[in-house]
């Protein structure tokens, strides 16, 4: 009996644990905006691609630093010669078969090359820093895209609730109309109008759900989630939403120039082009190199053992070489001119990025400002339309209003609700954009 009781307890605990796990998994399917942003930054393909590009720049920078070190290579050769020839080891003229072995080590190092090595290292460091900003830019773009998609999903989700409430109301009105038609108090047209409105609202529910599913799919793609994965968004409390006080536009712009990575990357682009000019000018200057080698060998023309010949034929060499450019078909001159043009182009690119940033801030500011005004007007219109619709429903219940006028009142109220929702979420979006351009985190 005790055994059966223990098994029963174990089953109950396991079942409870399974229920808790299922509840936990269900909770994980509902995503907050903050969770979406964090997940997207870690998993988005565009961000990962930018990270790979930055890692490649790191490798190039590390390799360029080691280019200052000497090169070292070893050599070994085995040859057979027949007839009159020069012995490759003793350099004597002989007329016989020769078996020879040559061994050697060679090294060289560039002592001076017009500072091109140093300038290349500095340029590669700038490219590493620039690619770090490109990574941040990719993350920012994903954050903005996720935020927009999330708010669109919230808008569509609230649209479903509005459509469902309208469907419930129109279903009751259609039932009332049917009762009145059976009682002979209204004409068939009033009843068919009520049925038509119910069917229209049912279609609107389906359409609202499809819109929500579309925005959810967009959000999943930004998060690199499977389309088949269960996903829902957390609806924040926005019933008593009040718009924030907007910051000064010029203040946002000045802060953005010091914060946004695309502008910092553009500034570094000018410095990278300037290093290209320094590297190109280095071809006008001489190149000084130091080289050295050690070697030995064996030849069958000597009556010594292999080991003895390696000791006897051991040699060392050290040398300096100086290369002075005189004329190379104006290649260096052309490279210098192209580098100067590239500097001007990078400066233009910096100005373009600066203008684009101002345009984004100007657009966000104007949209935030207009959405505030629209929000106030839409709220007033929605409240008034709600009261009108409630009065129309009471009149309809008392038989003092026909179905057509009731449908018009309901549609007016629905449109007012949609306008209010749109103005609310647009204001949230553009207000968050202005905060983002000032280096603040996006949150609802």
CB distance 429 to 370 below 8 Å: no
In a domain, 21, yes or no: no
* Cα gap 133→259, rounded to integer Å: 10
Alpha helices, DSSP H only, in 300-402? 306-312, 331-397
**Domain annotation covers residue 369:** yes
Give residue for tokens 């280096």. Answer: 439
Query: Does residue 307 form part of some domain?
Result: no
d(CA 284, CA 19): 77
Q: What is the DSSP letter of 417?
A: H
Q: Which residues contact 305 (CB under 8 A, 6 or more apart)?
A: none
Predicted local distance difference test score (pLDDT) of residue 237:
83
- Tell me how far apart the alpha carbons of residues 407 and 419 are, in angstroms, rounded to a whole number: 18
Residue 80 lies in a domain: no
CA distance 214 to 358: 32
- pTM, whole model, 2 decimals? 0.83
Read off the tokens for 105. Answer: 């080590």
Where b means 16+ CB within 10 Å and e means fewer, 405-431 reads: ebbebbbbbbebbbbbbbbbbbbbbbb
What b/e readout covers 228-251, taking b as 16+ CB neighbours within 10 angstroms?
Answer: eeebebeeeeeeeeebeebbebee
Q: Which residues pair with 86 in a beta bridge?
A: 93
The domain that holds 206 is classified in CATH as 1.20.1600.10
**Which residues, listed in sequence order, are joined to residue 74 by a DSSP beta bridge?**
105
Cα-Cα end-to-end distance for the chain? 57
- pLDDT for residue 398: 85
Give domain status of residue 312, yes or no.
Answer: no
Residue 188 contacts by C-beta under 8 Å, 6 or more apart in sequence? 181
Reported in sequence order, the residue ranges of 194-240 that DSSP labels E, i.e. its strands, are 232-233
Enumerate the β-bridge partners of residue 102. Answer: 77, 297
33 closest CA partner among 186, 147, 181: 147
Tokens of 335: 């490279």
Residue identified by tokens 């895209």 is: 145
Q: Do 247 and 438 touch, CB atoms closer than 8 A? A: yes
Neighbours of 436 (CB within 10 A): 20
100 by DSSP, 3-state: which?
strand
- Residue 113 pairs with which residues in a beta bridge? 287
pLDDT for res 240: 80
Residue 222 has φ and ψ, to the nearest 5°, of: -65, -30
Per-residue pLDDT of the chain (444 residues; tens, 9 = 90+): 334 334 333 333 333 333 333 333 334 479 999 999 999 999 999 999 999 999 999 999 999 999 999 999 999 999 988 888 888 888 888 888 888 899 999 999 999 998 999 999 999 999 999 999 999 999 999 999 999 999 999 999 999 999 999 999 999 989 988 988 888 888 899 899 999 999 999 999 999 999 999 999 999 999 999 988 899 999 888 778 888 889 999 999 999 999 899 999 999 999 999 999 999 999 999 999 999 999 999 988 888 888 888 898 899 999 999 999 999 999 999 999 999 999 999 999 999 999 999 999 999 999 999 999 999 999 999 999 999 999 999 998 888 888 889 889 999 999 999 999 999 999 999 999 999 999 999 988
pLDDT in tens, 181-226: 888 888 899 899 999 999 999 999 999 999 999 999 999 999 999 9
Based on the structure, what is the number of domains in the chain?
Answer: 1
Is residue 201 within 8 Å of residue 166, measured between CB atoms?
yes
| Residue 6 in domain | no
Q: Which of 105, 100, 107, 60 is nearest to 82 (CA)?
A: 100
Write the pLDDT tens digit of every residue in 285-340: 999 999 999 999 998 888 888 888 889 889 999 999 999 999 999 999 999 999 99
- pLDDT value at residue 20: 38
Provide the residue range defining the domain that includes 186. 31-67+114-285+325-437
Query: Is residue 154 situated within a structural domain?
Result: yes
So what's the pLDDT on residue 114?
87
What is the rounded distance in angstroms from the CA atom of residue 388 to the CA atom of residue 405?
11
Return phi, psi of residue 290, to 5°.
Answer: -115, 135
Domain assignment present for residue 377? The answer is yes
Radius of gyration of the chain (CA): 39
CA 129 – CA 125 distance, rounded (Å): 6
């Amino acid at each position: 009996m005790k055994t059966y009781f223990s098994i029963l307890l174990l089953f109950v605990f396991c079942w409870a644990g399974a229920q808790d796990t299922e509840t936990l998994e269900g909770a994980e399917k509902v995503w907050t905006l903050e969770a979406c942003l964090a997940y997207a930054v870690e998993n988005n393909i565009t961000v990962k691609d930018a990270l790979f590009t930055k890692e490649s720049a790191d490798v190039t920078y590390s390799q360029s630093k080691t280019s200052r070190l000497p090169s070292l290579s070893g050599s070994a050769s085995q040859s057979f010669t027949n007839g009159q020839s020069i012995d490759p080891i003793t350099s004597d003229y002989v007329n016989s078969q020769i078996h020879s072995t040559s061994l050697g080590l060679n090294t060289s190092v560039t002592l001076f090359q017009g500072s091109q090595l140093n300038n290349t290292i500095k340029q590669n460091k700038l490219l590493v820093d620039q690619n770090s900003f490109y990574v941040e830019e990719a993350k920012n773009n994903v954050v903005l895209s996720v935020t927009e998609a999330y708010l669109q999903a919230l808008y569509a989700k609230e649209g479903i609730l509005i459509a469902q409430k309208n469907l419930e109301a129109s279903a009751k009105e259609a039932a009332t109309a049917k009762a009145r038609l059976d009682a002979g108090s209204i004409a068939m047209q009033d009843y068919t109008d009520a049925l038509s409105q119910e069917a229209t609202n049912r279609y609107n529910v389906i359409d609202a759900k499809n819109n929500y599913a579309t925005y959810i799919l967009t959000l999943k793609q930004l998060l690199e989630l499977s389309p088949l994965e269960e996903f829902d968004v957390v609806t924040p409390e926005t019933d008593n939403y009040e718009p924030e006080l907007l910051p000064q536009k010029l203040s946002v712009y000045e802060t953005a120039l010091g914060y946004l990575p695309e502008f910092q990357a553009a500034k570094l682009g000018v410095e990278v082009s300037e290093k290209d000019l320094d590297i190109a000018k280095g071809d006008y200057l001489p190149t000084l190199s130091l080289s050295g080698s050690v070697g030995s060998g064996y030849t069958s023309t000597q009556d010594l053992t292999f080991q003895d010949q390696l000791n006897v034929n051991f040699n060392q060499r050290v040398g300096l070489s100086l290369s002075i450019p005189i004329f190379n078909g104006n290649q260096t001159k052309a490279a210098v001119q192209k580098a100067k043009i590239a500097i001007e182009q990078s400066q233009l690119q910096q100005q373009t990025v600066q203008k684009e940033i101002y345009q984004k801030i100007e657009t966000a500011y104007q949209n935030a400002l207009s959405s505030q005004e629209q929000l106030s007007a839409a709220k007033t219109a929605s409240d008034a339309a709600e009261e009108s619709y409630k009065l129309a429903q009471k009149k309809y219940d008392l038989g003092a209003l026909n179905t057509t006028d009731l449908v018009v009142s309901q549609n007016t109220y629905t449109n007012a609700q949609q306008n209010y929702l749109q103005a609310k979420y647009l204001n949230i979006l553009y207000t968050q954009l202005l905060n983002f351009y000032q280096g603040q985190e996006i949150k609802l």
